[in-house]
Amino acid sequence: MNPVQIARGIEKTATALVSELRLMTREIEDREIADVAAVSAGNDYSVGSMISDALKRVGKKGFVRIENGRCTENHLQIVEGMQFDRGYLSPYFVTDRTNMSVEFNNSRILLVDKKITNVREMFKILDGAVKEKYPLLIIAEDIEQEALAPIIRNKLKGVLKVAAIKAPAFGQRKSDYLDDIAVLTGGKVVRDEMGLTLEKVGKEVLGCAAKVVVTKDSTLVVTDRSTQNAVEKRVVQLRSLAENSDEKFKKKILNERIARLSGGIAIIQVGAQTVIELKDKKLRIEDALNATKAAIEEGVVVGGGCSLLRLSMKVDSIKESLDNEEQKIGADIFKQALSYPSKLIAKNAGVNGNFVVEKVSTSIYKVLSSNDMTYGYNAAKNCFEDLMAAGILDPSKVVRCCIEHAASVAKVFLTADVVVVDSRDIKPPHIPRLVPSSKIMPTSGDCSLQLLKYFLSRIQCPSCFILLLIMIPGFAR
């Protein structure tokens, strides 16, 4: 038995299953957003409704932030602000080591539409920040190392509360982005062609933000709504330009700017009685939000393990395209694994998993020629019904990633000579030989198969889909 060929069989099967999954996927409807979020939050429909409401108010591609609340209940707050994909220029700016982020309250913002090459150019601005003790966020086209190093040194000494990032986008879009941030924060963009030189300007050009959060990948600017009138005027101006533009690309850019300025930011404040409860609720809400975004991005499929059972029906036809019997063994292993999530869901609900899988599989076989295969087991109600109509949905992206990652991990174990386990109390069990020793030569591959069976059986991931791999004992066939 060649483990490399089995691994190739698993890989080819996974690729084919992903293609089949895309055919089963459909776009999520607005009314289903709450269902997806609720299922991912452990059937907590209050969380699902809150996330759905947040995305309705800021847009499906809007920014939603999750924070610790100050009371025992969850609250949704919509604030004026902007989020963009630019992170800090140095990790030395970090103020929150736990989250590796920069967080400023009542911050000032310097906007510079050019490259900063010397720290002396900013002396007046930095001196004002030191004297008046306000945090400062610098957004520039770029900051050369010669100018950045003194800023970092003064931050580490505690002289300055400062962070620096590159301006988002490039060329004219970068200039437009800076103009929009200036309108939002009430600041001015420093440009030489406008008669504003960095050496001469003071705090009069600085914008204001109620809160700034900068991570290694993104920046969030929250304002206090003091510039709402200016923002509304800019949005009206941009809408007029978009309506009068005949160029599709230009119209697209203008609509992006409108959405950026008018969308706002949703903040979900998580409340709890204890710190432990707070951590648990926060993780659930984060999972629900990520699942919802994944569903918006790639669509949804029927949940409850039903989609995976339906995919298992496709494996026999996939096997016909494989090169040899060993690759087909890999496909058979995957087929067995695809039924395990449904079994585990049923087991957790106190029902015989084999009975559930058999009943749902029989239903799928009966309507195999139909595209409407949404019948499955609803563990929350302990009944068999149309799961799509009941709101039991899974993001297609989540299912796809689990299939791909499961195949990837299985390949690594199959082709590994040695696996190191960081464990103090687990003793490897005795693994009987799969075939008589006279009929097989001891190879690293044989060892890998046995190790794979053992280690994957120890997986305790709460996501049932990751447990695809636990059916690897199919090697014993």
pLDDT along the chain (477 residues), means of 10: 89 94 90 88 88 86 83 86 90 92 95 93 92 95 93 94 93 90 93 84 92 92 87 90 85 82 84 90 92 91 89 90 90 91 90 87 59 76 86 91 92 84 62 46 48 48 42 41
In the block, residue with structure tokens 């305790």:
460
Give domain limits for the chain.
Answer: 3-26+301-476, 30-80+265-298, 83-226
Using CA atoms, how far residue 212 sits from 107, 108, 222, in Å, is 7, 9, 6
**Which fold would CATH assign to domain 3-26+301-476?**
GROEL; domain 1 (1.10.560)
What is the pLDDT at residue 260? 80
- Cα 200 to Cα 165, 188, 191, distances in angstroms: 22, 14, 12
How far is it, in rounded angstroms, from Cα 106 to Cα 208?
A: 7
Residue partners of 99: CB distance under 8 A and separation at least 6: 215
Q: For the segment 17-73, what is each residue's pLDDT rounded down to a tens digit?
A: 999 999 999 998 888 899 899 888 888 889 999 999 988 888 777 788 898 888 889
* Cα–Cα separations (whole angstroms), residue 442 to 2, 17, 113: 12, 33, 67
Q: How far apart are CA 186 and CA 149, in angstroms?
A: 28
Whether the CB-CB separation of 362 and 311 falls below 8 Å is answered with no
Q: What's domain 83-226's architecture?
A: 3-Layer(bba) Sandwich (3.50)
HSE at residue 156, side-chain half, CA atoms within 13 A, is 9
Please, which residues have CB within 8 angstroms of residue 253's CB and are 6 or more apart in sequence?
Answer: 173, 176
Question: How is residue 88 annotated by DSSP?
Answer: B
Q: What is the model's pTM?
A: 0.65
Supply the pLDDT for residue 428.
57
Q: What three-state secondary structure class fits 246?
A: coil
Identify whether the C-beta of residue 214 lies closer than 8 Å to the C-beta of residue 93.
Answer: yes
Query: For the domain 30-80+265-298, what is the CATH code?
Result: 3.30.260.10
